[in-house]
Chains A and B, each alone.
Chain A
Amino acid sequence: MSTARAINLTNENFQFEITESGTGNHVNLIGIIDEDTDFSALLKLKTSPVVFNFKNITSINSCGIRTWVNFVKEFPEGNVTFIECPPLVVRQMNMVPSFMGKAKVESVFVPYVCDSCEHEQNKLVLVSDYKKGTSIPETIQCEKCQSEEMEMDGNVKQYFSFAK
C-alpha cells in the first residue's frame, strides 16, 4: 500500500509529494528550482531506492542547478532514478552532467513542434529504448491539426547526449 503526502518547502514556488511503497519512495517534484529551494528534507530518503519525477518542474535557474547538484550527489549509485524528465531538465543534464549525480535516467519527454500550426507536444521515451537503438521518430502526427509534419524540436543525438 502507498501513502502520499504533499509538503510545502521554504518558498511558494516549489513543493514535492512523496509516495512511499515497500520498494522505496517516489518523489514528485513540482514548480521552480532556484536559490530558494531547500531539498534538505529529502536527504533522509538517500538510504533506500528513490525515484524523482520531474514532469511538473517548470523552471530551473543556475543557482537551482547548483542546489540540485549538491543535493543529488549525496545519493549512492543504484539508489536513484529520474523519470519523465521534460526538455528543460534534459537540457540541464546535457549542459551540466553532474545534474544527474549517480542517477539512472529512465524516461524523458522528447519535444515536437508542428510545422503547420506551431502546436507543441512532448512524447515520453524510455532512455533504454534509445540506447538499444530503437529509433526516435523524427516526425509524429499533430494532435491539434492532425498534420503529419510535427517534427522533433532539435537533434536526436544532441538531445540524448546525456545518455552516453
Chain B
Amino acid sequence: MNTLNKKAIADSPAKVGLFSKREAALLISSGYSHVHSSLLGLRDSLANLTLSALASDFIPSYTWEANSNQQQIAVHSSKERKKVIDQVLSELKIKSSSSMGDKIWTSLEELLTNSIFHAYQDGSGKEKYHRRETVELLPEEKILLGFSRDSKGIYVSVQDSGVGLTFSNVQSNFKRCYESQGLSQIETKDGGAGLGLYVVFELATHVKITSHPKSGTLTQCWFANSSNFDPDYFSFNFFTGDKKS
C-alpha cells in the first residue's frame, strides 16, 4: 500500500465546495492537490473518501474507477497510438464524431502522447524521445491503456513506467494554462505544447493521478454521460507515494 506524507497533506489539504473548473484549477495551482466540487459539499461521498484516506495515510480507490470489466491494451510505439484509440472507441461502441467520442479520443491522445514523449529520460536526465520522431518503446516502457463503460459514463486510464510526475509539475502547468494570457499560455519550446493536462482536466468529470518517482504515473479519468452530466460535479486528485510530495 502506498503511504502518504502527513506533513505534505497538512500543507495542502483537500478543498471541498462548489467550483467552476477554472476556480478549481486556480486552487490546484495554489497548492491544493485534492479538489472536489459538488452541490453536496462535505456530504459528497467522493470528497469524504479523499478526506478519510488522507487522514488514514493511504491512496483510496474511488467508486468511479472500480469496474471489474475493465479492458487493457498495451501501446508499444507512437505510430500506433491513433489506431489504438480508434480501437478503444470501437470496443466502447462510441462514434468518434460524437461528443463523448471527441472527449475520449482527445483525452487519450493527450495522455498517451504525454507518456510516450515525456515520461522517459535518458541517462543524463533529458527526455529520451522527441515529438517529431517515430518512437518504438522498449518492452519495459510499454504503456497500458485501460477502459470500461457503464450506464453512467466511461472510464479510461493510461499507465507508464517513466520518471513520474511531481505535484509542482502540475501546479506550474495549471498556472501557465489558466493564468497566462495570449501566446504565453502555450509552451513554445520544441517539445509538447504543455496543454495536455489542461485539456484532460477540462474534458473529464473525475481525474486521479497517482505518480511514483522513478516508477511511473497512472492517470485515471471518468467521463459522465451527457444524460448524467453535471458541470458542478467533478474532482481532481493527485497522489504520490513519495515522502516528498
Chain A contact residues, CB within 8 Å of chain B = 13, 35, 58-63, 65-66, 69, 73, 87-88, 91, 95-98, 111, 113, 115, 118, 120, 153-155, 158
Known: A35-B131, A61-B110. 5 other contacts (CB 8 A): A35-B132, A61-B109, A66-B193, A118-B226, A153-B99
Q: Give the shortest distance, in Å, between B71 (CB) and chain A (any CB).
A: 22
Q: What is the 8 Å Cβ interface bit string for chain B, positions 93-131, against chain A (1 contact, 0 not)?
A: 000111100100110011001000000000000000001
- CB pair B109–A98 under 8 Å, yes or no, is no
Question: At the interface, yes or no: B186 with Cβ under 8 Å from chain A?
Answer: yes
Which of B4-12, B40-48, B195-203, B236-244 contacts its partner?
A: B195-203
Q: Could you list some 28 contacts between A and B, CB below 8 A?
A: A35-B132, A58-B96, A58-B97, A59-B102, A59-B106, A60-B106, A61-B113, A62-B113, A62-B192, A62-B193, A62-B195, A62-B199, A65-B186, A65-B195, A66-B186, A66-B188, A88-B102, A88-B106, A95-B195, A98-B182, A111-B99, A113-B226, A113-B227, A115-B227, A120-B99, A153-B226, A154-B231, A158-B231
What is the size, in residues, of chain B's interface with A at 8 Å between Cβ atoms?
A: 30
What is the bound-complex CA distance between A66 and B113, given in angstroms? 15
What DSSP secondary structure best describes chain A's contact surface? mixed
Question: At the interface, yes or no: B17 with Cβ under 8 Å from chain A?
Answer: no
- CB pair A62–B226 under 8 Å, yes or no, is no
| A69 interface neighbour in B99, B131, B183, Cβ under 8 Å | B183
Q: What is the 8 Å Cβ interface bit string for chain B, positions 147-178, against chain A (1 contact, 0 not)?
A: 00000000000000000000000000000000
- CB pair A118–B227 under 8 Å, yes or no, is yes
What is the bound-complex CA distance between A98 and B181, given in angstroms? 9
Q: Give the shortest distance, in Å, between B202 (CB) and chain A (any CB).
A: 6
User: Given the known A-B contacts A88-B102, A96-B195, are A63 and B185 also in contact in the complex, defined by CB atoms under 8 Å?
Assistant: no
| B231 interface neighbour in A111, A115, A155, Cβ under 8 Å | A155
Q: Give the shortest distance, in Å, between A70 (CB) and chain B (any CB).
A: 8
Give B209-245 interface residues, CB cut-off 8 Å to A. 226-227, 231
Residues of B within 8 A of A95 (CB): 195, 198-199, 202
- CB pair A69–B186 under 8 Å, yes or no, is yes
Residues of A within 8 A of B132 (CB): 35
Residues of B within 8 A of A158 (CB): 231
Residues of A within 8 A of B226 (CB): 113, 118, 153
Residues of B within 8 A of A62 (CB): 110, 113, 192-196, 199
What is the bound-complex CA distance between A113 and B227, given in angstroms? 8
Which residue of the partner chain A has the closest CB to B182?
A: A98
What is the bound-complex CA distance between A57 and B14, given in angstroms? 39
- CB pair B98–A120 under 8 Å, yes or no, is yes
What is the bound-complex CA distance between A98 and B198, given in angstroms? 15
Residues of A within 8 A of B106 (CB): 59-61, 88
- CB pair A113–B109 under 8 Å, yes or no, is no
Residues of B within 8 A of A113 (CB): 99, 226-227
What is the bound-complex CA distance between A9 and B188, given in angstroms? 23
Residues of B within 8 A of A69 (CB): 183, 186
| B193 interface neighbour in A63, A87, A118, A153, Cβ under 8 Å | A63
Q: Give the shortest distance, in Å, between A85 (CB) and chain B (any CB).
A: 13
- CB pair B102–A98 under 8 Å, yes or no, is no
Q: What is the 8 Å Cβ interface bit string for chain B, positions 14-46, against chain A (1 contact, 0 not)?
A: 000000000000000000000000000000000
